[in-house]
Amino acid sequence: MTTVIEDPKTTIAQIGSLIRGARQNRGFTQTQLAEVLGTSQSAIARIEQGSQNLSVEMLSRINEALDADLLSIGAPRPTHLRVTGGQQLSGTIRVNTSKNGAVALLCASLLNRGRTTLRQVARIVEVDRIVDVLRSIGVRATWSEDGKDLEIVPPAELNLAGIDEDAARRTRSIIMFLGPLLGRETSFQLPYAGGCDLGTRTVEPHMIALRPFGLEVLATGGWYQAAVTTGQPQELSVVLTERGDTVTENALMAAARHPGVTVIRNASPNYMVQDLCFYLELLGVRVEGIGTTTLRVHGLAEIDADVTYSLGEDPVEAMSLLTAGIVTGSEITVTRVPIEFMEIELATLAEMGLRYTTSPEYPAANGRTRLVDVTVHPSELRAPIDKIHPMPFPGLNIDNLPFFAVIAACAAGTSTIHDWVYDNRAIHLTDLTRLGADVRLLDQHRLDVTGPTRWSGAEVSCPPALRPAVVILLAMLAAKGTSVLRGVDIISRGYEQLQERLIELGAQIETFRD
C-alpha cells in the first residue's frame, strides 16, 4: 500500500509548518528530531522552513518519529486546533513582514525586466498562490535556501496562455495583475474568482482607476478580457472613487510604466501602499506624496533594474499578537511593531485602560518604516465612551477592528463595534458567545459587546473570514478548559505559523485532524 500526501495542493511550506507544530507538541528540539531521523539539525530547519524537498519515505519516518498525522490515505481532511486555555502567556515575539505588502510587490515585479529580490517574505498560502501564478506565466521565482527571501526574474515575453487558472481563481489578488500587465500587453485575459463580478464595489473602482491608462475590461465566462489602447497624454489625472488599498496599488503600478506624470487623488496612504511606493522608487520611478492621499508618479516607459527590497512589518499581525497578550491578562513583548500604523489602535486601547510600554523608535530593514517594541501588561479594562470604528489610514485599521470585539469582551461595560466596511463580518464575531461572551448583533454592521466575560471552553466551527477566525482562536486562549476550533485552514491564508508561534509564548495548542 502506498502512502501519499492527502492533498496534492499542499505546499512544501505548509508541510514544514505541520512538521514544526507536531515537533513542538511532542516537546522535541530540532536537534532531537534530527538524531531520531539520522540527519542534521540544519536539515530539519530547512524542512520546517519549506526550503527542502521531501520524499514520501522521509515524510513517513517523520510521521512515525513524531507520532503525528502528517500523512494519510484518501480525500483531504480539514485541520482543527485543540486549545487548552485560561493560562497566562509570557515572552517575546517578533512581528513578521506584511502579507498584503508581499502580494502587491509580487504583482509589481512584473513591471521590472530585471531581477527583484524580496527579503523576509511571509510564507503564507496567499503568497504561494501568487508565486504559482507567476511561475505558470514564465516568471522565474526562486526561494533562498532558508526559505525567507524570494528572487523574481520575469521573461522577455510572458506566457499568459499558460496561466495557472486554479491558483488564480483561488486568490482575489489576481486583480492586481491588471495594473502591471497593461504596461506590457495590448490585450490579455485573466481568470477571476467566482462572485467577483464587474459592478460590485470591490471591482468597479479598479476599472475606474485604470481606464485613464487605456484599459477596457469585459468580464465574461469567468475571465477578464482586457484590451489596452495607446496614445494617452503624458500628464494624467486619476481620481479614485474608493480609497482602497488594492485600487491605489493598481493605479500606482499602471502609472509606473506610463511615460509621463500621473497624479492619483484620493489614494490610500496605508502601509502596503507605502511598501509599493518604496519599491517603485528603487526601480527608478519617482513618487511624490508618499503617506498622503495625493500621489504624483513620474513613470518610465521601460524598467530594467536589479533591486533588493526588504518588506515592512505587518500591523495587523502586530495587533493579533498584542491581543493574545491582552485577553489572557499576560505580560508579553511584541517586537518590530510598525508604530505609524498602530498609533490609533494603541490610543484606543489606552482609553480602555490598557497599560503598555514602548521602546524608542528604530528603523525597519527597508530604512523607511518606523518600528517600536511594545510590552503589554495585565490591566483592568473598561468599555470606551465612544463606539469603536475603522477609518482609512491614518484611522484605526479596518483589518484590526475585529480584535477589539474580543478585547471589549474582557472590558467592564458595553462597547459598540461598528464595522461599516463589510456587510457580514460582524455576524461572524457573534461566535464569541459560544465561549461565554455577551455579544449582541444590532444589525449586519454593529455589535454591542458587554464584559467582563467569564470565558469557558467550547467547540466552534472556524468562521469563513480570516480575522474573525483568529479572533475566535485568541478568545480560546482566554477560555478556561479545552476548546476546539474546527476547520482552521483559512488562518494559514494570512498568517505564517500562527499557532506554532503562540505555542512559543506558552499557549497550549494542538493541531489535529479527524
Q: What is the per-residue pLDDT for 75?
A: 55
Q: What is the per-residue pLDDT for 263?
A: 98
Q: What is the per-residue pLDDT for 54?
A: 75
Maximum CA extent, the chain: 67
* Residue 15, burial from CB neighbour count under 10 angstroms (0-12, 13-18, 19+): buried
Please give the sequence-ordered ranges of beta strands (E in DSSP) within 177-330, or none if there are none. 187-191, 215-220, 223-228, 235-239, 261-265, 286-288, 294-298, 307-310
Q: What is the per-residue pLDDT for 23?
A: 81
Please count the other Cβ atoms lying within 10 Å of the Cβ belonging to residue 17: 23
- The dihedral over CA atoms of 249, 253, 255, 256, expressed in degrees to the nearest 10, equals 130
Say if strands 459-461 and 481-486 run parallel, antiparallel, or are unpaired: parallel
Please give the sequence-ordered ranges of beta strands (E in DSSP) within 249-289, or none if there are none. 261-265, 286-288
Please count the other Cβ atoms lying within 10 Å of the Cβ belonging to residue 281: 15
Residues of the chain with confidence (pLDDT) below 70: 1-14, 25, 56-57, 68-76, 193-202
Phi-psi region for residue 325, left (φ > 0), alpha (ψ -120 to 50) or beta? alpha
Residues 31-66 have pLDDT tens digits of 878 877 778 887 888 888 777 777 766 777 787 788
Q: How far apart are CA 250 and CA 248, in angstroms?
A: 5
Q: How far apart are CA 118 and CA 440, in angstroms?
A: 44
b/e string for 111-146 if b means 16 or more Cβ within 10 A? Answer: bbeebbbbebbbbbbbbbbbbbbbbbbbbebebeee
Q: How far apart are CA 393 and CA 395, in angstroms?
A: 5
Residue 48, classed as helix, strand or coil, is helix
Q: What is the per-residue pLDDT for 142?
A: 93
The CATH code that applies to domain 12-77 is 1.10.260.40
Q: What is the per-residue pLDDT for 203?
A: 81
Identical topology for domains 83-96+313-513 and 99-310: yes
Q: How far apart are CA 120 and CA 309, in angstroms?
A: 9
CATH of 83-96+313-513, one of 2.60.130.10, 3.10.20.600, 3.65.10.10, 1.10.150.20: 3.65.10.10
What grid cell was written down for 20?
514544526
- Whether the Cβ atoms of residue 488 and residue 465 lie closer than 8 Å to each other: no
- The dihedral over CA atoms of 475, 477, 479, 483, expressed in degrees to the nearest 10, equals 90
Q: How far apart are CA 91 and CA 70, in angstroms?
A: 29
How far from the centroid of its chain's Cα atoms is residue 251's Cα?
21
Q: What is the per-residue pLDDT for 46?
A: 80
Hey, where are the domains in the chain? 12-77, 83-96+313-513, 99-310
What grid cell was written down for 357?
510600554
- Long-range pairs, 346-349, Cβ under 8 A, ≥24: 346/374, 348/384, 348/388, 348/396, 348/404, 349/407
Residue 55, classed as helix, strand or coil, is coil
- Whether the Cβ atoms of residue 179 and residue 105 lie closer than 8 Å to each other: no
- The dihedral over CA atoms of 273, 275, 278, 279, expressed in degrees to the nearest 10, equals -110
- Whether the Cβ atoms of residue 89 and residue 505 lie closer than 8 Å to each other: yes
Q: What is the per-residue pLDDT for 362?
A: 98
Supply the pTM of this predicted model.
0.85
Q: What is the per-residue pLDDT for 10?
A: 54
- Domain 99-310, second-level architecture: Alpha-beta prism (3.65)
User: What is the edge-to-edge ordering of all strands in the sheet holding 140-143?
Assistant: 140-143, 150-153, 116-119, 307-310
Tell how many helices (H) and how many strands (E) occur in the chain.
Answer: 17, 23
